[in-house]
Amino acid sequence: MMSMTQKIIALVDGSLYARSVCDHAAWIAGRTGASIELLHVLGRREAPDQADLSGSLQLGARTALLEELAALDEQRAKLVVRRGRAILEDAQAILEEAGISQNTARLRHGDLITTVAEQEKDAAMIVIGKRGEAADFARGHLGSNLERIIRVSHKPVFVASRSFKPISKLLVAYDGGTSAMRAVDHIAHSTLYAGLQVHVVTAGVETPDIRKGLENALSILTAAGIDGHIRVVPGQPDKVLSQIVEDDHFDLLLMGAYGHSRIRSLIIGSTTTEMIRSCKIPVVLMR
Domains of the chain (ranges, CATH numbers): 1-164 (3.40.50.620), 165-282 (3.40.50.620)
What's the whole-model pTM score?
A: 0.84
Q: Band of the pLDDT at 263, cuts 50, 70, 90?
A: very low
Q: Band of the pLDDT at 59, cuts 50, 70, 90?
A: low
Give the model confidence (pLDDT) of 202-260 as tens digits. Answer: 998 899 999 999 999 999 999 999 999 999 999 888 788 889 999 999 999 998 876 54
Q: Looking at residue 272, what is its pLDDT?
A: 72
Instruction: Return the closest-CA partner of residue 155 out of 183, 132, 135, 178.
Output: 183
| Axis crossing angle, helix 270-278 with helix 144-152, rounded to the nearest 10 | 130
Give the model confidence (pLDDT) of 14-37 as tens digits. Answer: 888 999 999 999 999 999 999 999
Instruction: Return the closest-CA partner of residue 127 out of 151, 153, 165, 159.
Output: 159
Q: Looking at residue 56, what is its pLDDT?
A: 52
Q: Which amino acid is at 9?
A: I
The torsion defined by the Cα of 189, 193, 196 and 199, in degrees rounded to 10, comes to -70
State the average pLDDT over residues 111-121.
Answer: 90
Measure the CA–CA gap between 178 and 123, rounded to whole angstroms: 22
